Structure 1
């Protein structure tokens, strides 16, 4: 058995694949952080974001949406000057707006429940043999994207949402030939 073919050979990527990717995440704040990072990844490779993740966490106050929701132009300017992150005004401003949208959903029913209710609280267990079988988006990712946008989120299109769903274990897209497929499957609630 071998790892999923997208991993490559860099240790940071191997560690991410072997310990994080596809593991069901049920913490509201951690889910929000991952969605934000997936939004920053748009147009870039995930390895770029992964290598900058700790810089992002420092620059964005540990991805505390309650802190970020109160930010304004001064913080946008500070972040635009930070070479440790992806300096994209639209994505930075979206993060601030997304923090406010997160607060509303969190107060209403919990961001974790909002997301996990789409899959009945348990990961969708796919059985793909090749990377060519793995979709870039699905009808479900389109619906979640639409609902997130309706709630005020930005940088959360269907492809970003599907990558997010894979990363946080809402779907198990480890190939069946990967040793992590069964390990991740066993972690489902």
Structure 2
């Protein structure tokens, strides 16, 4: 199992995983991703901009996430306080894992692989993410992965309005003081 940047040839598998995620959220009565977002145009833009990271095993895409350098429009205003004070962060968006492998800890493995990748860049001090207040599963994975809840943000990219997502940040190894762990 390994992490790599997505290519256009991966788009059908990524779209399938996103649709799995939409159905999974709908089955839990969570209105996150229940409109057009994220649509094919966003997924294509993510791939073309080199933002989509995929977890792969035996040519199968097991999970995907967009890892986007700051600043992020949704993170400019927070009801709370970020752990980092500038734009030296990456934002993780559109996290999804294959329904065929749900329950095998893939989201955590995807996060850990992204952390290893991001930790190679001295200029990145934080990793930010947000999720819907009703998405308890993702909140659990985020917190288990070492993120700190920092407040709430209004997501600008989603087609839903007036939803205040829970915001989280995790410091990178570069930002962690000596003697502490990320």
TM-score range, shorter chain: under 0.3
Q: When the two structures are superposed, what TM-score results if normalisation uses the length of structure 1?
A: 0.23
Q: 1 or 2, which has the higher strand percentage?
A: 2
Q: 1 or 2, which has the higher helix percentage?
A: 1
State which structure, 1 or 2, has the greater radius of gyration over its C-alpha atoms. 1
The structure whose RCO (Cα within 8 Å, separation 6+) is larger is 1
